[in-house]
Amino acid sequence: MTVSMTDRAPDPVFSEPWHGQVFALTVHLHDKGLFSWPRWTDRFGAVLARHGLSKELDGGEDYFAAWLETLEAMLAEEGAASGAEVDRMRAAWEKAYLSTPHGHPVHLA
Amino acid sequence: MPHDDPDHPHSLLPPDPALRVKALETILTQKGLIDPAALDVIIDTYQHRIGPKNGAQVVARAWSDPAFRAALLDDATAAVSEMGFFGRQGEHIVAVENTPEVHNMVVCTLCSCYPWPLLGVPPAWYKSDAYRARAVREPRKLLSEFGVTLSEGTSVRVWDSTAEVRYLVVPMRPEGTEGLSPEALAELVSRDAMIGTGVAVAP
């Protein structure tokens, strides 16, 4: 599939809420001094290049998937959030969503 | 939506990456490494306050004010910070001006570096492999797909952005716009014109 270069319809800034959330989290962690921006772009560029070997990335969902993978790897290296911690917390959130009646705010138990 | 919707007895489960981002936010908040309220401010800023209108103001001022144009081309980081536009990654902004001889266009072959303070968050196509590869390999063909046809005598210069240097293209001022105010001129400057994949057009 090729990407249309001529589609001029205005795109939403973030097509999924989590795209904006992972973007903001990264910008904020940089603001807080957790990593330099050149280090971020080097790592992110490497992940994009690796993902781009098996398919042509369209700059949408696949772009933010690479972004999240990069951030998770850097936070694990920094000791800020290990893979095991993220897996546990992700499972806790999934459980919270599945046990909260529809329409109610979702909170961790 | 009714709360007793039989198709959704529980809350709709967000997709996997959304749950992973939520998990990161929770962990980092619990460790005191982030301020969750700051995240909302950043999202709101990029959704509603920072976008190509900022860059269009800069271009319109460069078209209208020769001293500002000279300052912008000399040191864009300083010139745009005077207008209240600051890069949060400490990057330098470089303004490159289109002329009848040279058409400038911008890409980031590494990832998606982009002048956020002036143009906001890049569109998906700017981040796509197709654009990132073809801007370097066949810029004229790519430009024609964007509807930009250059005359034989115009060369194309492609600028590769980095974490440290982001580029703003200053398009040529359209003919017949002599009497327009900077505010009216800014309306003629599209995001694509400032990436170099478009041109500014008279109203």
Query: Complex ipTM, two decimals?
Result: 0.91
A64 contacts A18 by C-beta, under 8 angstroms = yes
**Mean pLDDT lowest among A52-61, B100-109, B187-196:** A52-61
Alpha-carbon distance of A7 to B24, in angstroms, equals: 34
Range of the domain at B21: 16-47
| B113–A22 C-beta distance less than 8 A | no
Q: What is the maximal distance between C-alpha atoms in chain B?
A: 68
What is the per-residue pLDDT for B1?
A: 45
- Residue-number span of the structural domain to which A91 is assigned: 82-109
Mean pLDDT of B146-157: 95
**Amino acid making up residue B9:** P
Across the interface, whether the CB atoms of B131 and A41 are under 8 A apart is answered no
Could you tell me if A22 and A56 lie in one domain?
Answer: yes
B105 near B179, Cβ under 8 Å? no
- Which residues are B104's β-sheet partners? B157
Whether residue A83 has pLDDT greater than 50: yes
Residues A40 and A64 in one domain: yes
Question: Nearest-CA distance from B115 to chain A in Å?
Answer: 14
The alpha-carbon gap from B158 to the nearest alpha carbon of chain A, in Å, equals 17
CB contact under 8 A, A27 and B12: no
Closest CA to B89 of A74, A21, A20, A35: A35
What pLDDT is attached to residue B6? 59
Q: Is the domain of B98 the same as that of B162?
A: yes
B144 is catalytic: no
Residue A3 forms contact with B (CB below 8 Å)? yes
Q: Are B20 and B70 part of one and the same domain?
A: no
- Alpha carbon A79 to its chain's center: 18
Residues B111 and B34 in one domain: no
Residues A51 and A88 both lie in one domain: no
Instruction: Give the integer Cα–Cα distance in Å for B3 and A104.
Output: 8
Give the distance from residue A107's alpha carbon to the nearest chain B alpha carbon, in angstroms: 11
Residues B124 and B151 in one domain: yes
Q: Please report, to the nearest 10 degrees, the dihedral formed by the alpha carbons of residues A66, A69, A70, A71 taken in order.
A: 120
Kindly state whether residues A89 and A68 are assigned to the same domain.
no
Q: How confident is residue B21, by pLDDT bands cut at 50, 70 and 90?
A: very high
Task: Output B185 or A10, whichever has higher pLDDT.
Answer: B185
- Phi and psi torsions of B23, nearest 5°: -60, -45
Taking only residues 35 to 94 of chain A, the set having a beta carbon closer than 8 angstroms to any beta carbon of chain B reads: 37-38, 40-42, 44-45, 48, 52, 56-60, 63-65, 68, 71-72, 75, 80-81, 85-87, 89-90, 92-94
Partners of residue A4 in chain B, C-beta under 8 Å: 125
In the residue annotation, B112 being an active-site residue is answered as yes
Query: Are both B32 and B84 inside the same structural domain?
Result: no
B40/B101 Cα distance (integer angstroms): 45
B10: in domain? no
Q: What average pLDDT score do residues A78-86 get?
A: 96
What pLDDT does residue A10 have? Answer: 58
Question: Does the beta-carbon distance from A13 to B120 stay under 8 Å?
Answer: yes
Residues in Cβ contact with B100 at an 8 Å cutoff, skipping those fewer than 6 apart = B151, B153, B154, B172
Same domain flag for B42 and B66: no
Are B30 and B61 part of one and the same domain?
A: no
> Cα–Cα–Cα angle for B125, B102, B57, nearest 5°?
60
Is residue B6 in some structural domain?
no
Whether residue A71 is found in the same domain as residue A96: no
Please give the model's pTM, rounded to 2 decimal places: 0.89
Among the listed residues B90, B129, B137, B91, the one whose alpha carbon sits nearest the alpha carbon of residue B110: B129
In a domain, A54, yes or no: yes
Among residues B64, B81, B112, B190, the one annotated as catalytic is B112
Please check whether residues B115 and B173 belong to one and the same domain. Answer: yes
Same domain, A63 and A23: yes
Domain count, chain B: 2
Min Cα–Cα distance to chain B from A4, Å: 8
Reported residue count of chain B is 203
**Residue scoring higher pLDDT (A24 or B202):** A24
Q: Is the pLDDT of residue B102 over 90?
A: yes
Assess B28–A contact: CB distance below 8 Å, yes or no: yes
